Amino acid sequence: MMDHPTEEQTQPAAVRLRGIVKSFGTGDTKVTVLRGIDLDIYLGEMLLLVGESGGGKTTLLSAIAGILEIDAGNIDVLGVPLSDLPAGKRTTFRGKTMGFIYQQFNLLPAGAVVKAFDLIDAVSKGTLDGGHGVTAYWYGKNAAMALWGSGPAFGMDANLVLAWHYYGGGKALLEEIYKGLNLDVVSFLYGPMPTQPLGWFKKPITQPGDFKGLKYRTVGLSVDIFNGMGAAVNALPGGEIVPAMDKGLLDAAEFNNATSDRILGFPDVSKVCMLQSYHQSGEQFEILFNKKKYDSLPGELKAILQHAVEAASADMSWKAVHRYSQDYIDLQTKNNVKFYKTPDSVLQAQLKVWDAVAAKKSGENPLFKRIYDSQRDFARRAVAWQQDTMVGSRMAFNHFFAGKR
């Protein structure tokens, strides 16, 4: 039961609704969801709407927020006749005075505003309040940023790279890069990705020499690795890869994982996928916010965002195991894809080329060297601990499942 202010109270209602009517549909299909709603909500008051699904709760809140136009009645919010304002002014008023959490995500699809590689500039300039990508996409601005997502990372997997980022000094180094590039953004890394495949090919790769002259797609410092192995590399955004392979503009390509690769249509243009590679063995995703927008948020909302990122990171890694393992099976049984392990000779060639790439970049870019050295120092103890502590899975798997797959 809710206590209402008495009629003698002189303070006006912060939200005042009179005679609100809202219907959906026409003719025989017309349904009136809100019928003559009167409501007063006063400053400092908390109101909970309870009712069955379809009872009009969301419709009423959307009307109060100015998101949904009503058929009849009046809505005043903080003395402003919201129901009389045009849509644009309602949106401006809502942005300045209200907080509204949608039942469904209201997100712009990839490429709707800017291309993938232009995302960070759009967020920095305020064209977008936020965005979702990977640091390897900003390789063209400073190659050091790709150290968070491409290269062998001294044997670290993505979860260890995130541990280095948040507890080994990586976060401060990334912020230093963004500040030096005058990028007005706040970055949250999350979502550790499993080791990414070597890629999709016309025929299996059997030796390092197979890359010579191969038209191949990758991004970040992986470009330097495969260039060093003799490939002709083209750094394309995800949505452009399969069409390029279909037209013969690419001979081979890598993207990410069994699920995303299946959705993008890789099995329509290739039936050969090579598993295991050092080119992107420790990548993670990045959530960006415009710094001015982020700094304007109250402290509690900043804390919510931080913990939401951490929760999403954990959930994404768990969900990846479920989805990727099932799509790995479906690609074989439904799409007739053949998977092959990348030969050790190719993996060793990647490491050898990487040594040369890292030495060159470190000599050209002092910040690259600082980040590289920081990763190495962290990996020396973290990878040693992981290798010495974690029991291998292959022995147990073979014990329980050998001959049963």
* One domain, residues 50 and 117: no
* One domain, residues 209 and 121: yes
* One domain, residues 304 and 196: yes
* One domain, residues 204 and 230: yes
Q: Please give the residue range of the domain that contains residue 283.
A: 108-391
**Residue 1 in domain:** no
| pTM more than 0.85 | no
- pLDDT for 217-239, tens place per residue? 999 999 999 999 999 999 998 88
pLDDT of residue 111: 65
Q: Last residue of some domain: 63, 97, 131? A: 97
Of 378, 346, 343, 372, residue with least CA distance to 359: 372
Quickly state the pLDDT bin for 1 (edges 50, 70, 90): very low
- pLDDT for 292-327, tens place per residue? 999 999 999 999 999 999 999 999 999 999 999 999
Residues 6+ away with beta carbon under 8 Å from 212: 229, 230, 231
Looking at residue 133, the DSSP 8-state letter turns out to be E
* One domain, residues 89 and 140: no
* One domain, residues 244 and 151: yes
pLDDT of residue 333: 97
- Looking at the chain, the whole-number percentage of residues with pLDDT higher than 90 is 72
* One domain, residues 302 and 180: yes
CA pair distance 39, 311, nearest whole angstrom: 37
**Residue 119 in domain:** yes
CATH code, domain with 34: 3.40.50.300
Tally the domains of the chain.
2
- H helix runs in 139-285, sequence order: 158-167, 170-180, 222-228, 241-246, 258-264, 266-269
* One domain, residues 224 and 262: yes
**Residue 396 in domain:** no
**Residue 247 in domain:** yes
